[in-house]
Amino acid sequence: MPSYSSATPFASVYHAPVMIDEILDQLDRLATKSTSAAPLARIIDLTCGGGGHSEAFLTYLRAQNLNHVEVIGVDRDSDSKEEASQRLKDFPNFHHCLKNFGDLTPDDLGGPVDFVLGDLGVSSHQIDDPSRGFRYGGNVKGGVAGPLDMRMDGNNGLSAADIVNDYPEEALLKILVDHGGEKYMSAKRIVAEIVRSRPMTRTDELTAAIERVTPKWSKSSPRKGALKTKARVFQAIRVAVNDEMGSLNRLFENVLPSIVREGGVCCILTYQSDEDAIVKAAFKSHHEVDGKIRVVKDREIGRDLYGNKVGPGKKVWDILNKGKKASEDEMKKNNRARSARLRVAERILS
């Protein structure tokens, strides 16, 4: 199978896709063992963005003379649909679905899926476009601040301004601690300053509030300085605005068990600890019990006479790797690959 990541031909101004070789290795393994009884028919890119990973899939399929295999790009961002559809217009086996991946149904996809990719990172396009409000003022492309928005799906739902200006202190504190990994006392100072600074409508106003109660740098740890603190706060608010953890939980509890065929493969790229914990726990511990998916704790699992693990219900996933990181070479070429972790699992056969 050809190697792609060294030349990064699937990168664009929209986004540079991460760990293409490792993901294509998994697709190639599945395609090689596919049979007439279980042929490779449908691939879904849950976070299509600008279409980088989808283009890699389509290029691989064309090289293997598998042009009958559908690639479905899913994204909640209408900018993604426009960008990916234009970029991939020469591939008739590509289709786009404008939807939050946590709300997908089998009807959206036209049938069971053989291979799934979910890249949980925010695209370069979203981060670098000041009008989207994902990045703090003064450190965006062109140094331009933007509105406190951060919505991935346009004008739907609460914006970052709604959360910053209207949420009570305790709710804001929980967001910064749970989704940004901010230490409690630091988060408390930041939240108090946010409340004192209301109302805020622009990213530079939120940035200034954080800077007023955060040292520019810290001798004890770079983590405590303003730069990394601003990144954590903006990340936390973005996660809350888009209900990212809720969508991810729904993906594993409702969507994937219903759309991935038995023997199908699921690849998930994570970039932060709380989302990685959800993926790790789902792959390791999700069981189907009485028709519902839930985490089965180790204490609930026993052993039969032959030493085999026996637990309530049926295990959903067979883990194929335990969290692979990008290569050193890729990290040097793409800074956003540094925090990436790829987890892969196979839907267990009956």
Report the pLDDT value the prediction gives residue 234, as an integer from 0 to 100: 94
Bond from prior residue into 112 cis (ω within 30 degrees of 0): no
Q: Is the pLDDT of residue 5 over 70?
A: no
More confident call, 120 vs 122: 120
Rg, the chain, Cα only: 21
Q: How far apart are alpha carbons 135 and 147 in whole angstroms? A: 10
Q: Are 207 and 237 in contact (CB under 8 A)?
A: no
The per-residue pLDDT for 8 is 58
| Beta-carbon contacts of residue 185 (< 8 Å; ≥ 6 apart) | none
Banded pLDDT at 307 (limits 50, 70, 90) = confident
Distance CA 8, CA 52 (A): 10
Render pLDDT for 248-272 as a digit per residue (tens, 0 to 9): 999 999 999 999 999 999 999 999 8
The whole-chain average pLDDT of the chain stands at 88
Q: What band does 136 get if pLDDT is binned at 50, 70 and 90? A: confident
Among 55, 75, 118, residue whose Cα is nearest residue 248: 118
Q: How confident is the model at residue 145 (pLDDT cuts 50, 70, 90)?
A: confident
Question: Per-domain residue ranges for the chain?
Answer: 20-124+244-347, 154-241
Q: Is the pLDDT of residue 13 over 80?
A: no
- What sign does the CA torsion over 16, 17, 18, 24 have? negative
Residue 175 has pLDDT above 90, yes or no: yes
The confidence score (pLDDT) of residue 135 equals: 78
pLDDT surpasses 50 at 139:
no
Q: Is the pLDDT of residue 202 over 80?
A: yes
Round to whole Å and give the CA distance between 287 and 291: 10
CATH class as words, domain 154-241: mainly alpha
Mean pLDDT in residue range 31-38: 80
Counting every residue written for the chain, the total comes to 350
Which pLDDT does position 141 carry in this prediction?
46
Which CATH superfamily hosts domain 20-124+244-347? Vaccinia Virus protein VP39 (3.40.50.150)
